[in-house]
Structure formats: C-alpha cells, structure tokens
Structure 1
Amino acid sequence: MSDSQEPDAHASALRELSRIHGRHPRWSMLAIAAGVLQTAVTIALAALLAHVLHGTIIANESFEALRSFWLLMLPCFAVRALAGWAREEAGMRMSLAVRHSVRQSLLDTLHRLGPAWMVRQQAGSLSTLLMEQVEALDGYFARYRPQQWMATLTPLMILAVVAPLSWVAMLILLVTAPLIPVFMILVGWGARQRQTEQLQVLQRMGGHFLDLIRGLPTLQLFNAHHRMAGEVAQVADAFRQRTMSVLRLAFLSGAVLEFFGSVAIALTAVYFGLSLLGMLNFGLYGQVLDLRLALFVLLLAPEFYLPLRELGTHYHARAEALAAAGELMPVFKAGSPQPEGGTLQLPATPPALQLEDVTFAHREGEPVLANCSLQVAPGEVVAIQGPSGGGKTTLLRLLLGQLRAGTGRVMIGGNPIDTLDLAPWRERVAWMGQHPRLMADTLAANLRVAHADATDADLTQALTFAGLESWFATLPEGLATRLGEGGRPMSGGQLRRLALARVRLRRADVLLLDEPTASLDPDTEAAIVARIAELAQGKTTVLLTHRPAPLRLADRVYHLSHGALMPAASGLPTPDQESPT
C-alpha cells in the first residue's frame, strides 16, 4: 500500500470499526443531551452575568435589587457542572463498551484464525494488538466523537442567540469559525502519520522484547545478556524520542488552535469596543448598544469557539485511533487457514485417520507436502520421521483441523474433515508438542487447560502418572503454587512431564505427539516413553520423532522427505539417519 493510499485505508478501517462496534445509542444520546444542556445553561449564565454587571456598573443598582439574579447563578453553576460530569461519564462508558466489544471480537477472530495462524505471528505483536492498539481507541470514542456533535450543536445554539442581537457579531463568528477546523486538519495530517509510525514501532518493540525474554536463558548461557540489555536500552530510548515528537506535535496543534481562537474573540471585542465609543454604528438592527448586550455576546464568544478548540485538542485521539484501526482491521479480515467445518459428529470410538494425496504450502510455489498419503487404523500407533522443517508438524495440524489442505482430502473416521463439527473433534484429541507452554498461573490452572472440569484428585493422579509426585510434594501451596514468571520455574524434563500429565487428563482417543522426548536425557526419555505406551493403548496415535526410543511404540514407521511419506526400511534409524533435534 502506498503512502497516499494509507490514510484513506486507515480512515475506511476506522469507519468500519465504528459501524460494527461503535453503536451504543444510550451513551451517545446521553453525551449529546448533557452537552446541549451544558450549552443552554452557559447561555443563561452569560445572560445573568451580563445583566448583573450592567446593573452594578452602569445602572448603579443595589445588591438587593440584583439578589434574584445572583441566586439564579448558583443552580446554573450546579447544573452546568452536573451536565459536564454526565457528558464525560457517558463518553467514558461508551469508550469502555466499544473497547470491550473490539477486544472480545479480536479474541474471537484469533480463535477463528487458530493456532497455526498465530504461531506465524510475533506473540509480542499480538499482545500489543490486544492491549495497546485497542486502548488507543479510547480517546476517539470517549472524547472526539461526542465532541464532533458539540462542535456543531454549540455554535449553532450560540449563533441562534447572537443573530437577533447583532448581525455583525454573527458574521464575525461565522467567518472566523472555519479557521480552527482548517488548521486542525492541517496539523492533524502530520500527527496521523507520526501516530501510525509510533504504533507500528510499539508493536514491533513488543514482539522484540518478548523474544528477548523467551531467549534470556540462552543469552545468559552465552554471556550475551549484558550486550542485549544495552540494545534494549537503545530501543527504549528511540521509542521515548518518538513519543516526545508525537507529544510535541500535539501541543503545537493546541497552541495553534488557541491562537486563532483568541484572534477571533479579539475581533468581536474590537467591534463592540468601537461601537461603545460611537465610532461604529451598524450591525445592531437600529438598537442602542449598551454594556449588557456587549458583555453577553463577548461572554458567549469564547464558548462559541471552545467546542472547536476542544475538537482540535482531541484530534490527536482520532489520529491515534486511525493508526490503531489500520492495524486491527487486517487481523479482523484475515482469512483463516482452518477448514470451516460442518455439523457431523463422530462415533465415540477411536477413529481412523487418513490423508489422500494431500498437498499443502505455507507460501505459494513452496509446497511442504506434495501428494502425501497416510492411513492410520483405529487404535494403531504410526511414527513419522523426517528432517526438521520437513512438514511433520504441518501434517499433524492438518489432522487436527488447524490447517486446510490445498489439494487432496483429510479424512477422519472415513469422513472429510470439513464436514465435521471441529470443536468436538478437537476435544477428542490430545496434543503433546515439542515445546510445552508454561502459563504464569497456578499449577492447577496449568493442568486444567487440558480438562477444565478436572477435580483436584484428577490433577494429583495425573501428576503421579507423569512422575511428578516427588516434585509436587515439595510445593508449599500444592496445586495453588504459581508457576512460570513470578512463580516457581520448571526444568525442561519437568515441563515435559507436565505436558504428559495434561495428555493423561485429556482422556482423548486420538494422540498427536510432536517430538515428545526431544532434548531429554536417556532416563527421563525412558520414563516418558513408558508412560506414552500406557496412554497409547487402544488410541489412534501419530508420533513424530527423531529419537530411536519412541519408535519402539510404533506399529509402522514412515519417513517424510520432500513432501512425500514413504515406509521406513526399518523401525529403528541408523545413526546417520538421525537428525539433531
């Protein structure tokens, strides 16, 4: 997309985002009604104050004669403050509702896109998208959009009051009013571009930091963490400088708008000043100008420009929202790599798995699987070997329904996978990947990702089955012990056993195991292989491995090479056939 097209694309994205998620009429109407009431009370206050000052300065009226006007100001001040509070509260509630809707829709979209799509993205950029980019919509929906209405309604209400009193004053207001939005737009163009760049840098920085945190143990092993800390400081300082440049532009726009607002008010004051001195005698419909009329219009002049200046002040919020919408909408519109699925339910028995001449490519012209065929009978254990990056994990994702085959068919229980109700199908599958994830949460929460309704007794039995009973006995808070960041760390072997406990809790009839013993010492590997042998009994199992020990569990062994599956000559590979994990 070219630079000239980008602002239009961002504006279109923001309009679509507002159309889908920004319709909250209750809060919108409340914000507008409160703003109109605030303007009406302001006009009344200006009239009261002009009358009191004229009576005190010109007519020499006593305080007692003006008491009722003084007293009327008190409820006006109270109502004006209450209306201002209601307007702000309605704007914040509307913004909260919009952000909640966008964030929920974004989570639903990520669920629709699936793990195979997300694993190809930077995890840090996705978390930045969910947090920072959604929060960037706050100022637009809380303040800018309600202010758009007030920037139209308030000047019209004031013009309706001023027009019968002085057509010259009305003309000055009409002529000078467009200056503020014009300069607001001129300054806003630069702000929009800066804000877009800022959010893109923030997204990249989030992904960079998360990658560094994940690789911190490796950096420490190579004694490179001090050097990387310096790089992090440089990136953070560059981001600080970018942030200050954006803020500088926002403050500049505010100063420009204040200047033109002051010039416009000064023109009105000069006209009435010269009229009071008798140097001008037109624009009053033949009426005699007095201090009361002049003060009334002069008091309303700042209020006439105030909504326009506030709209200009909040214009950077629109620029920020435009940048955020430009990042969010491509995710909403991204095509899912998963099959759409149907409504078919499988019988409650271990199903057969089958690939029929399947071809799949992550990038066009670079097939990972080419005319690949595989048959796994119900309850059979099939092992697949092959070089790293050869497509083994892709094959498992096709069977799980996380990827859609380019050509050919994926059959589950004799049925095409796109006819199945995929959610129940995935509930019947246990996945054990080569990089088990540890959440920064309790041990119980880390186990219940496999089975949400598991009891504490089920969790304890699963830990015992996985060989973690002695480790579990040392935990001071038992299942409530926090793991991961901010909690108790786990070694690689313990994390593999935790993944094994999750597989046990799953109670699935299909096992998809991706390098379950990679990087383990022989003793730990032997223990995990023995437990997998128990779990695989009677279950349809596809096992990916480079190691010889898990191959002993297989009924058949295949070798995946150049996108095609071929039966292995021997169940156990020779040393020169093995690839490093």
Structure 2
Amino acid sequence: MDKQLQRDLTKWLKSQSKLAKRWLMLSVGLGFISGLLLIGQAALLAHILHQLIIEHTDKSELVAHFIGLTAVVGLRAACSWGREVFGYRCGEQIRLHIRQLIMQRLHNLGPAYIKGKPAGAWASLVLEQVEEMQDFFSRYIPQMSIAVLVPFTILVVVFPLNWAAGLIFLITAPLVPLFMALVGLGAADANRRNFKALQRLSGHFFDRLQGLSTLRLFNRAEAEAENLHAASDVLRKRTMEVLRLAFLSSAVLEFFSAISVAMVAVYFGFTFIGELNFGTYGVPLSLFTGLFVLILAPEFYQPLRDLGTFYHAKAQAIGAAESIVEFLNAEADEMKQGTENLPSPETIEIEANALEVLSPEGQVLAGPLTFTIKPNEHIALVGPSGAGKTSLLNAILGFLPYRGSLKVNGIELKSLEHSQWRQAISWVGQNPMLVHGTVRDNITLGNPLATDEHVRQVTQQAYADEFINRLELGDQHIVGDRSGGLSVGQAQRIAVARAMLQNGAFWLLDEPTASLDANSERLVLDSLSIAVRGQTTLMVSHRLDQLSMMDRVFVMDNGQLVQDGHFDTIREQGLLAEMLANKDMRDLDA
C-alpha cells in the first residue's frame, strides 16, 4: 500500500475518534492513574522489602504498608476494568457512526448501485470490516497516549534516584517503537489483502448459495465447490500472513524489552557488588532504590509493549478502512432529494422533458426522454430487453440520478422529499420480495398500523385469502427468506395486497405477471384491474395482447422513446408492429 495512502487512512481513522472524545479521555485518564498507582505500588513493595531485609523491622510495624499495598493493587484492578469498559464504549460509538455513514451512503446511492456488487461483499463491508476497527479505537488510540505518559512519569521518578538507570531507560525506550514500526510496515498491506479475499469469498459464497438449485440442475455444484475451496484457500493464506506478522511483532518487542530490563538488572547487580560506581549522585546505592527501579523496569516498557501488541489493530483498521473510505468517496452520483412536500398526493401527474437517466457512475442509461403521464391515465411501457425500461422506473422511484427535468405534480423530483413521494406509490414488481416474518407482516409492510378489517379486505381483493385461509396459522403463517414456503403466485398475490394497502395514487407495475402460471396470472390481473381504477398507472408489460386496455403505450428502444400513442393507433407501424409480428409468429409455431 502506498505510504501516502496509509497516512491518509490513518488520519481519517483518527478523525473518527474525535466522535468519542469523552470515552477516549476517560480511558486514557484511568490508564495514567493506573501508572501512578503502579509507581506507588513499586515504592511500597521496595520499602517493605528494604525494611524487612536491611532494617530488620518487625512485620507488625508494616501492617499499614501491607494494607496500602493491597489497596493499591485493588485500585489498579479497578482502573484496568474501567479502561476496558470506557475503551469498548469508545470503539462502539465510533463503529456505530461508521456503519451509519456506510448505510447512509448506500441509502443515497440506492438499490441500482447496490446491485452492482454481490450481497456478501456488502455484508463483509458493513459487518466484518467495521468490526475489525474496534481494537484500534478501544485500545490502540488510548495506548498511544499512555505509552508516552506512563514512561515519562517513571523517568521523572527514576532520574532523581539513579541517573544511570534513567539513562538506560531513555536510550532503550525508542528501540521498541522503532522495531515495532519496522515489523509493521507490511502489516497494513497484509490486512488489506486479507479483507479483499474475505470480500471475494463472502460474495462468491452468498451468490452460489442463492443459486444452488440452478448449479445442481446444470451439474456445476462440484465445480463451484472447487472454486469456493480455492477462494477459501486464498483467504487462509492471507489470514496466516497477518498472523505471522502479528506474532513476529510481539516476539521482537518482547526480545528488546527483555534485553533492556536485563541491562538495568546487570547494572544494579554490579553496582551492589562494587564493580560499578556511577549513577548514584555520590550516595551509596540502597536496596530500596535498587528494588524500586528494578520493579519499575519491566513496567516502564510495558506500555510500549502493549502499544506494539495493539499495533496489529492499527494495521487491521487501515486495511479495513481502505475499502470503506474508497466506497464513501466513490465518484458516484447520488439521487438528490429536497424537502418539499408532494402537492395534491391524491392524484399524480408526471412530466419529463429532455430527461436523461444516469448510472451512479454518470453513464447515460436512457434518454433524452420527453413525455407526460396525465392524472388517472394508464400507460403501458414496452420494449425489448435493454431498452431502458427499468432505468426509467428507477429514476421515477428516485433510485437513479438524472439530467433534465422530471416533475411530479409540477414539482421537480429532486426537490421532493423522497420518503413522502414513495408513500404515494403502490409498487408491484416481477419478483416479489417478502421479508422473514408472518404473512400479515408482509402485507402490512408499508402500513403496520392497518386494522384487521382493512387487511382482510385487501387480501380478498387480491385473491390472496383463498390460500391464506388454507394455511394452518392463517395470516400468522411464517414466511421464510426469499418467499420460502409459498409459491411464486401466492407471493405475488401478497405483493398485490401489500400495494393495495399502501393505497398509493400512482401505481408502478414492473411485469407483475411475468413468472406466474395462467391461473395466478388471471387472478393477479383481475385484482390489479380493480385496484388501479381511477389511479395514475405505469405498467411495464410483456403481454402485448393486453395493451389495448391501456390509455396509451410507450415503446422504448435503445434508451429512446420511439413510439407514444394509443395501441390501435401505433400497432401497425414501427417497433411495436415488429414485436407484434414476432409474437404472432411464435404463436403460430406453438
């Protein structure tokens, strides 16, 4: 990874820590207090041993010191517990904020952008990668301050007692962070590669799991299993690479810390036997001083060692942040929205003038388009695959950005508050999306406060009651993920009932009968014909024999609106005539 990129990502991560400044300060404060208590503990312990060994003081005279030592140990334990709690709260608050940033960005980009990546990749981004930042904020960031404050305080205490020991501390202390940085140079790259491998595996696995039946029907299950095995093996190698660096970093830090403590111990050992005679300011070295400094020696390096231990958390966070920052800063147009309310939501009129529908990356998907859908008018939208029909629907729904003008009841769509606009839409797609829950939960998805009577009414109108009544639990029947436990026709009728309960003034139908059998198609069409009566309707349809029932027909091709008029007027010319001729030929062949 480029060093400048690492610095930018580190700067971004640290800027996020400002959001939990209170928890961060509490964690650092308790760490510093724990360091002060550590000095007091070392002083008490050295004093007790000095009194017992050198002064031959009776143990009964040192009871207060023993009680004080016990109290200090208890207070240090309490500080350590508090540090963990406050550190966790710090990380938790920042992780929640980062997740909100991601979810808000996803919300602004809309479903059209989200579908561009496997669902597993998004799950990895929102869950695993954000979670990997916890230790960075809860431990590494507070430890950076503690690793400076505590050793500095120990130096201030040690230098007046023995300048030689203080000088050893001062010279050897920079070695720990120096070698920590050298070992950790490749850690961020290793973590970045690990997260990329995890994203690929997550997306690959989720997609294959969804299409398992198709893979088995085409005898591709074993081949895809091999692909999954290969992807998981790549992840295993990347993970082991990260672990190797983490263990190497810990081993190097322990080695240099042990060498430094040994140097202090050797110095005091030779001083006690009279081989060395410096560092004591001309005063004989006492057992108290020697024990006090030796007890503090490993604790002097401990904050630096802890910082080294948590250094891999920084590498993990940088590796995770790369994809997150890249996504948050991606050059993708968001569908702008305003705050204006929809005037006269009981009737809907849509006007498009030189409308160009854009992808989030700025590519023109359809247009320029100019048309008007009048209040209570029923419009059929037809065209070959790739003509731009779905792109137009996504623009009307507010899921894709656009250039030009797209007005709803005279107000530009960009100026409308989208949640209110969507409340005015009753939507039925070709692949009904049912959430995990009861049948009733899915019917009342857009209107959870609906009464039992209202729910019963829409289920009857959508002909959904005929199979709901046969279910053992009725509308309390549990629906699994991806409409599990229901047929496509049953799920579609629930979707129609849901749209009826929404009671929108604008009905948007995207081939609502594309996947249905003849009986289900008839029932769905009958219920829809009743529901859309007197409402503005735009329906994408593959059933050309139903176009005569619509007020007008829009024909699209290559992103352009090539025909617009009543079915009887345009049926014998242009693209619609070709589509009808091809349909007639297929019917004859059948």
Measured against the shorter chain, the TM-score band is: over 0.9
Task: Say whether 1:379 aligns with 2:385.
Answer: no
For the residue of structure 2 that corresponds to 1:38, the secondary structure is: helix
Pair 397,195 (structure 1): closer, same or farther in 2 beyond 3 Å:
same
**More displaced, 383-392 or 467-476?**
467-476
**Equivalent residue number for residue 399 of structure 1:** 396
Pair 246,579 (structure 1): closer, same or farther in 2 beyond 3 Å:
farther
Cα deviation, 1:434-459, whole Å, max 9, x if unaligned, reads 22222233333323332233234433
Pair 287,447 (structure 1): closer, same or farther in 2 beyond 3 Å:
farther
Work out whether residues 368 and 390 of structure 1, in 8 Å CA contact, stay in contact via their aligned partners in 2: no
- CA distance in 2 between partners of 1:51 and 1:86 (Å): 29
User: How many residues were matched structurally?
Assistant: 575
**Equivalent residue number for residue 235 of structure 1:** 231
For the residue of structure 2 that corresponds to 1:558, the secondary structure is: strand
For the residue of structure 2 that corresponds to 1:574, the secondary structure is: helix
Work out whether residues 31 and 146 of structure 1, in 8 Å CA contact, stay in contact via their aligned partners in 2: yes
Pair 462,363 (structure 1): closer, same or farther in 2 beyond 3 Å:
closer
Work out whether residues 513 and 543 of structure 1, in 8 Å CA contact, stay in contact via their aligned partners in 2: yes
For the residue of structure 2 that corresponds to 1:281, the secondary structure is: coil
How far the C-alpha of 1:535 sits from its partner, in A, is 1.5
Structure 1 segment 276-425 matched on structure 2, within 5 A: 276-334=272-330, 335-362=332-359, 367-406=364-403, 408-425=404-421
Pair 85,365 (structure 1): closer, same or farther in 2 beyond 3 Å:
closer
- CA distance in 1 between partners of 2:162 and 2:362 (Å): 74
- CA distance in 2 between partners of 1:152 and 1:541 (Å): 68
How far the C-alpha of 1:550 sits from its partner, in A, is 4.3
For the residue of structure 2 that corresponds to 1:65, the secondary structure is: helix
- CA distance in 2 between partners of 1:55 and 1:244 (Å): 52
**Equivalent residue number for residue 172 of structure 1:** 168
Instruction: Give unpaired runs (5+ residues) of structure 2.
Output: none
Work out whether residues 360 and 405 of structure 1, in 8 Å CA contact, stay in contact via their aligned partners in 2: yes
Task: Say whether 1:112 aligns with 2:122.
Answer: no
**More displaced, 483-492 or 529-538?**
483-492
Task: Say whether 1:103 aligns with 2:99.
Answer: yes
- CA distance in 2 between partners of 1:525 and 1:381 (Å): 19
Work out whether residues 10 and 325 of structure 1, in 8 Å CA contact, stay in contact via their aligned partners in 2: no
**More displaced, 397-406 or 387-396?**
397-406
Cα deviation, 1:496-534, whole Å, max 9, x if unaligned, reads 222212211110000111111112222221221111111
For the residue of structure 1 that corresponds to 2:153, the secondary structure is: helix
How far the C-alpha of 1:361 sits from its partner, in A, is 4.1
Task: Say whether 1:576 aligns with 2:572.
Answer: no
**Equivalent residue number for residue 423 of structure 2:** 427
- CA distance in 2 between partners of 1:98 and 1:516 (Å): 43
Q: What one-letter code is carried by the residue in structure 1 that aligns with 2:580? A: T
How far the C-alpha of 1:15 sits from its partner, in A, is 2.8
How far the C-alpha of 1:215 sits from its partner, in A, is 1.2
Work out whether residues 21 and 102 of structure 1, in 8 Å CA contact, stay in contact via their aligned partners in 2: no
How far the C-alpha of 1:245 sits from its partner, in A, is 2.2
Task: Say whether 1:539 aligns with 2:545.
Answer: no
Pair 486,389 (structure 1): closer, same or farther in 2 beyond 3 Å:
closer
Work out whether residues 526 and 549 of structure 1, in 8 Å CA contact, stay in contact via their aligned partners in 2: no
How far the C-alpha of 1:280 sits from its partner, in A, is 1.0
Work out whether residues 507 and 532 of structure 2, in 8 Å CA contact, stay in contact via their aligned partners in 1: yes
- CA distance in 2 between partners of 1:425 and 1:579 (Å): 42
Cα deviation, 1:415-441, whole Å, max 9, x if unaligned, reads 322232322112101222222222233
2:143 aligned to 142, 147, 163, which one?
147
For the residue of structure 1 that corresponds to 2:366, the secondary structure is: strand
Cα deviation, 1:171-225, whole Å, max 9, x if unaligned, reads 1101111111111111112111111111122122222122112212322332433
For the residue of structure 2 that corresponds to 1:476, the secondary structure is: coil
- CA distance in 2 between partners of 1:72 and 1:309 (Å): 28
2:201 aligned to 191, 198, 205, which one?
205
Pair 340,226 (structure 1): closer, same or farther in 2 beyond 3 Å:
same
**Equivalent residue number for residue 88 of structure 2:** 92
Work out whether residues 430 and 515 of structure 2, in 8 Å CA contact, stay in contact via their aligned partners in 1: no
- CA distance in 1 between partners of 2:368 and 2:228 (Å): 46
- CA distance in 2 between partners of 1:440 and 1:449 (Å): 11
**More displaced, 361-370 or 69-78?**
361-370
Work out whether residues 276 and 289 of structure 1, in 8 Å CA contact, stay in contact via their aligned partners in 2: yes
- CA distance in 1 between partners of 2:550 and 2:387 (Å): 20
**Equivalent residue number for residue 39 of structure 2:** 43
Work out whether residues 99 and 137 of structure 1, in 8 Å CA contact, stay in contact via their aligned partners in 2: yes
How far the C-alpha of 1:10 sits from its partner, in A, is 4.5
Pair 263,474 (structure 1): closer, same or farther in 2 beyond 3 Å:
farther
Q: What one-letter code is carried by the residue in structure 1 that aligns with 2:447? A: H
Work out whether residues 17 and 137 of structure 2, in 8 Å CA contact, stay in contact via their aligned partners in 1: no
Task: Say whether 1:526 aligns with 2:532.
Answer: no
- CA distance in 1 between partners of 2:357 and 2:583 (Å): 25
For the residue of structure 2 that corresponds to 1:341, the secondary structure is: coil
Cα deviation, 1:523-577, whole Å, max 9, x if unaligned, reads 2212211111112111111111222354344211121012211136328952515
**More displaced, 410-419 or 327-336?**
327-336
How far the C-alpha of 1:229 sits from its partner, in A, is 3.1
Aligned residues with identical type, % of pairs: 37
Cα deviation, 1:118-163, whole Å, max 9, x if unaligned, reads 2223222112211111111111111111111110110011011001
Q: What one-letter code is carried by the residue in structure 2 that aligns with 1:498? A: I
Pair 217,15 (structure 1): closer, same or farther in 2 beyond 3 Å:
same
For the residue of structure 2 that corresponds to 1:559, the secondary structure is: strand
How far the C-alpha of 1:14 sits from its partner, in A, is 4.4
Q: TM-score, structure 1 length as denominator?
A: 0.93
**More displaced, 261-270 or 472-481?**
472-481
Q: What one-letter code is carried by the residue in structure 1 that aligns with 2:320? A: A
How far the C-alpha of 1:169 sits from its partner, in A, is 0.9
Pair 104,266 (structure 1): closer, same or farther in 2 beyond 3 Å:
same
Q: TM-score, structure 2 length as denominator?
A: 0.92
Work out whether residues 200 and 231 of structure 2, in 8 Å CA contact, stay in contact via their aligned partners in 1: no
Work out whether residues 114 and 402 of structure 1, in 8 Å CA contact, stay in contact via their aligned partners in 2: yes
Q: What one-letter code is carried by the residue in structure 2 that aligns with 1:494? A: Q
**More displaced, 105-114 or 206-215?**
105-114
**More displaced, 413-422 or 427-436?**
413-422
**More displaced, 256-265 or 445-454?**
445-454
For the residue of structure 2 that corresponds to 1:66, the secondary structure is: helix
Q: What one-letter code is carried by the residue in structure 2 that aligns with 1:501? A: A
How far the C-alpha of 1:338 sits from its partner, in A, is 0.8
Instruction: Give unpaired runs (5+ residues) of structure 1.
Output: none
**Equivalent residue number for residue 254 of structure 2:** 258
